[in-house]
Amino acid sequence: MDQRRKILDLLLSNARESTTDIARQTGLDEATVEETITELEDDGVVRGYQAVVDWQQLADDDEHVQAEVELNVELDRETGYEDIARRIVKFPQVSSLRLFSGDYDFAILVEGESMHDVSQFISEQIAPIPEVTQTVTHFVMETYKDRGIVFGDRDDDDRLSISP
Amino acid sequence: MRIADRVERVPPSGIRRFFELAEEKEEVISLGVGEPDFSAPWAARTAAIDSLERGRTSYTANRGMRELRTEIADHVRRYDLDYDPDEEILVTTGASEALDVAMRAFVDPGDRVAVPQPSYISYVPGVVFAGGEPLAVPTRVENDFALTYEDLTNAGAEDAEQLILCYPNNPTGATMSRSELAEVAEFAVDHDLMVLSDEIYAALTYEGEHASIATLPGMRERTVVFNGFSKAYAMTGLRLGYAMGPPEAIRAMNRIHQYSMLSAPTTAQYAALEALRSCDQEVVEMRDQYDRRRRFVLSRFDEMGLDCFEARGAFYAFPRCGGDDERFAEELLRQEDVAVVPGSVFGTGGEGHLRVSYATGLDELRTAMDRIERFVDAR
């Protein structure tokens, strides 16, 4: 495995891993680790670092609503997927936008503080886009796993503390 | 009540005291565990569940399910081992049962059994329970804890009937290359020793490839190889292992196995079958994670000035603690809530060392190493 991939693997499992600890685990020197991370960022391979949040663990008054919205669009000679995507990604409520093969064209993940917020955003901002022919909204009822991290998985280590 | 002499001869396990000490404390970070912190691959677990749902709860053939033996025979070809699933493989309740049965099958009262040390804590008692006389063969850190012809000669192993090997090694993490094993093979042939080769950590070899002594000239006919699913597949609690050797050896072992265990747990055999068929990738991922932790731990010991042998297999580091290892481990536990196992419990050559398992998540490992560093600095 090349060193970029080794470092990426570690950042994927913990983006807060220090360069010192990455160096310790990979056997690379710290300077190389730092340079490689900078390169990965400069090349646009690493696009950012975010926490994976289990919103359910926050207090009840911090409501957080997510919805997966499927979009069907109609293209014409002047408008391609890219054009539509460029327009949609600008909304701060849209946290991810992907083009799919299959029954629908785009899937967007919309986040808001209430179901009303999210519904209003879709009906007032997304549905009226001229190329959008259909939206199907699926509100997220529960998240069990996100970006490889299992939520609610707080099993204690039940191994014996000393074993042969 | 009268207890048999051979049982009385074996003292309670040296790790028992540390286990009890660790259990007294509430917030211990344990680096004393000899088992993976991962769970068995999900596909293996679902196979176990499925077997139960289908009501497959009866005995299997004494030797283990034929399908499983065939899969094992295919699997071990990666180590250049070639065994007939019908005659040369026995599925057991963990590699531990395989070793116990082997000692009872091959060791006559008074037989000397050479046990390189430091070594896994069950070998010496296993020899004693079988009526044999354990012969300690110290290995040296200067030789990377590899066993040499000279070590065997110095210990008087030419009079032994059997030799137990364990590479990659618990507790040192040492491995032995093919050329190093060739010396041991030469000794075994020269002095007509049978070899019991515990290769349970074979899949957890980080540098180089695992070599089995049974693949060396003249060794297949005098070697029984042991392996299992506990370490590589994180299936410790399912208790499934296997032994491979010449037909007469496996027949002899099966004669005992069929009267004691009858057959290995059926549910675990289904899990193992699936593990071999579809869980290679999970093994690689677990090994990669152990490897990162290994480098991390070795690097931290180096930075804190604890001389640490560079483990190349299993999931243990074996640093020198500079002095009384039992006292070091006990004080570390009392003062910093970090449990490690003193090297001396693993026999001659383990004194002055600690066995530090890195089968623990990196966050905990990081905290534990910070605490060990603080403890070392304060001494």
Residues A25-52: tens digit of each pLDDT? 999 999 999 999 999 999 999 999 999 9
Asked if B299 reaches chain A (Cβ–Cβ under 8 Å), the answer is yes
* pLDDT tens digit sequence for B134-181: 999 999 999 999 999 999 999 999 999 999 999 999 999 999 999 999
Instruction: Look up the pTM and report it.
Output: 0.92
Cβ-defined contact of B362 to A162 (cutoff 8 Å): no
Asked if A162 reaches chain B (Cβ–Cβ under 8 Å), the answer is yes
C-beta separation of B163 from B111 below 8 A: no
Asked if A157 reaches chain B (Cβ–Cβ under 8 Å), the answer is yes
How far away is chain B from the Cα of A26, in angstroms, using its nearest Cα? 6
Say whether B244 sits in a helix, a strand or coil. strand
β-partners of residue B165 are: B197
> CA B188, CA A86: separation in Å to the nearest integer?
73
**pLDDT score, position B32:** 95
The kind and range of the H/E element at A109 are strand A106-112
Q: State the pairing for strand pair B308-309/B241-244.
A: unpaired
Low-confidence stretches of chain B (pLDDT < 70) are none
Asked if B304 reaches chain A (Cβ–Cβ under 8 Å), the answer is no
* pLDDT tens digit sequence for A127-140: 999 999 999 999 99
Q: Contacts of residue B299 in chain A, CB cutoff 8 Å?
A: 23-24
CA of A159: which chain B residue's CA is closest?
B33
Cβ-defined contact of B292 to A10 (cutoff 8 Å): yes
Asked if A24 reaches chain B (Cβ–Cβ under 8 Å), the answer is yes
pLDDT band at A6 (very low <50, low <70, confident <90, very high): very high
Q: State the pairing for strand pair A65-73/A106-112.
A: antiparallel
Of the candidates B367, B369, B329, B364, which has an alpha carbon nearest to the alpha carbon of residue B345? B329
Q: Could you tell me which residue, B126 or A61, shows the higher pLDDT? A: B126
Asked if B31 reaches chain A (Cβ–Cβ under 8 Å), the answer is no
Per-residue b or e along A49-66, where b marks 16 or more CB atoms closer than 10 Å to that residue's CB: eeeeeeeeeeeeeeeebb
Q: Contacts of residue A148 in chain B, CB cutoff 8 Å?
A: none
CA distances from B63 to B97, B204, B245, B251, B255 (A): 13, 26, 13, 9, 10
Span A50-76, average pLDDT: 91
C-beta separation of B242 from B226 below 8 A: yes
Other Cβ atoms within 10 Å of A9 Cβ, number: 17
* pLDDT tens digit sequence for A88-105: 999 999 999 999 999 999
CB nearest to A161's CB, from B28, B122, B300: B28
Spatial neighbors of B153 by CB under 8 A, at least 6 apart, are: B187
Asked if A101 reaches chain B (Cβ–Cβ under 8 Å), the answer is no
Cβ-defined contact of A162 to B15 (cutoff 8 Å): yes
Percent of the residues in chain A that have a pLDDT greater than 70, as a whole number: 97
Per-residue b or e along B272-310, where b marks 16 or more CB atoms closer than 10 Å to that residue's CB: bbbbbeebbebbeebbebbbbbbbbbbbbbeebebebbe
* ipTM surpassing 0.90: no
C-beta separation of A84 from A131 below 8 A: yes
**pLDDT score, position A45:** 97
pLDDT band at A157 (very low <50, low <70, confident <90, very high): confident
**pLDDT score, position B11:** 86
Q: Which two tokens stand for residue A71?
A: 């979009």
How far away is chain B from the Cα of A143, in angstroms, using its nearest Cα? 20
CB nearest to A163's CB, from B35, B295, B360: B35
Q: Which two tokens stand for residue A157?
A: 């280590």
β-partners of residue B356 are: B317
Report the side by side order of strands in the sheet with B341-342. Answer: B308-309, B316-319, B354-357, B341-342
* pLDDT score of A154 more than 70: no
**pLDDT score, position B13:** 84
Mutation target for A interface from B299, B356, B363, B367: give the one with most A CBs within 10 A: B299
Question: Residues 161 to 190 of B: which have CB under 8 A from any A CB?
Answer: 170
